[in-house]
Amino acid sequence: MSTIAFIGLGNMGGPMAANLVKAGHIVRGFDVMEEAKTKARQNGIDVQESATAAVEGAQVIYTMLPNGKLVDAVLTEVLPSASAGALFIDSSTIAVADARAAAEKVQAAGHRFLDAPVSGGIVGAEAGTLAFMVGGDEEVFGEARPLFDVMGRSATLCGDIGSGQAVKICNNMILGVHQIAVAEAMVLGERLGLDPQAFFDVVSNSTGASWALTTNCPVPGPVPNSPANNDFKPGFANALMNKDLGLAKAALEETGTSAVLGQAAAAFYQETVDAGFGDKDCSYVIELVRDR
Ligand code: NAD
């Protein structure tokens, strides 16, 4: 069993750290928000007064933070206090370039690094069923694997540092496009007089099927626990989708890649957030399609 420092005990990091505690690890945590700290204490996390204090004596230093800037700030703060040869794992969703810069900084100080973003949302974090997509060295991945197995149901080594983040933004660019495509088709179906259940029964078994329909169906009824049945409580919030599509858009521009639909999805989610719906599930775009 390891001593793990866990920095960022929010919606995702909190339950992930709690699952590590349940598996018998010692977890020394830190977050800047009182609410996150209180909840973490209730879940058996040894909450410290600073990130620096949390990393003392830890073999593994885990970060689950809102963005790349904060990941860099936290790493810069804790590096001088990290034990020799510590394993740093960052599961935040950040730019590929930021993950590479973080790895360089950590490795230059004699430690190891993996980028390991996740898919599966808060439900997956709580249930320990996340999917980890990992970038880094194979041996280091092998060392981290038992932790991924506690917090998730799959972990895939995707290539060198940054490749976990690369696959994450590619996946979410597909999801953004799918969620809008499903919304547009369902609204068209409604206006052609189709019952949404009939639409669902056919399309979910046809070539138009996708997670955006079969799990995250944007109309209430066909999938009883999709967010549409619960006032679009996320799920995967528009604000997070917008963040990930912003990362995808930057990567498209950096690599000179044309993606007409990816760019359109990024613009649509930006509009959704600007209209004040950042905290609704990403399937909420169906309401904007109806209004357009
Ligand atoms: P969150 O805002 O709930 O949690 C982030 C936590 O980091 C907060 O509790 C915040 O107080 C804390 N924090 C910020 N600055 C800090 C600092 N300097 N030191 C310590 N703690 C600090 O966000 P989340 O939903 O848990 O997401 C975390 C990451 O996971 C993001 O990068 C997000 O894009 C990614 N992600 C989220 C989901 C999801 O469904 N929520 C799914 C996949 C990936």
One-letter amino acid identity for 172? N
Whether the CB-CB separation of 27 and 17 falls below 8 Å is answered with yes
Q: Give the Cα separation of 196 and 81 in Å (integer).
A: 57
Give yes or no for a contact between 134 and 114, defined as CB atoms under 8 angstroms apart: yes
Q: pLDDT band at 161, cuts 50/70/90?
A: very high
pTM of the model as a whole: 0.94
Q: Specify whether 168 is catalytic.
A: yes
- Counting atoms of ligand 1 from 1, which one is nearest the CA of 243? 34
Say how many Å lie between the CA of residue 281 and the centre of ligand 1: 17
**For the residues 18-44, what does the mean pLDDT come to?**
98
Query: 181 CA distance to ligand 1 centroid (A)?
Result: 28
The predicted pLDDT at position 235 comes to: 87
3-state SS string for the chain? CCEEEEECCCCCHHHHHHHHHHCCCEEEEECCCHHHHHHHHHCCCEECCCHHHHHCCCCEEEECCCCHHHHHHHHHHHHHHCCCCCEEEECCCCCHHHHHHHHHHHHHCCCEEEECCEECHHHHHHHCCEEEEEECCHHHHHHHHHHHHHHEEEEEEEECCCHHHHHHHHHHHHHHHHHHHHHHHHHHHHHCCCCHHHHHHHHCCCCCCCHHHHCCCCCCCCCCCCHHHHCCCCCCEHHHHHHHHHHHHHHHHHHCCCCHHHHHHHHHHHHHHHHHHCCCEHHHHHHHHHHC
pLDDT for 71-91, tens place per residue? 999 999 999 999 999 999 999
pLDDT of residue 36: 98
Give the span between the Cα atoms of 47 and 53, in whole angstroms.
9
Kindly report, residue by residue over 135-157, the tens digit of the pLDDT. Answer: 999 999 999 999 999 999 999 99
Given 37, 39, 168, 243, which residue is catalytic?
168
Relative to the CA of 74, which ligand 1 atom is closest? 18
Q: Is 13 in the pocket of ligand 1 (CB under 6 A)?
A: yes
Query: What pLDDT, on the 0 to 100 scale, is given for residue 106?
Result: 98
What pLDDT does 240 receive? 95
19: confidence class by pLDDT, cuts 50, 70, 90: very high
180-238 pLDDT, tens digit per residue, is: 999 999 999 999 999 999 999 999 999 999 999 999 999 999 999 999 999 999 989 99
240 lines ligand 1 (CB under 6 A): yes
The response to whether residue 10 sits with its C-beta less than 6 Å from ligand 1 reads yes
What's the pLDDT band for 121 if we cut at 50, 70, 90? Answer: confident
Res. 123: pLDDT tops 90: no
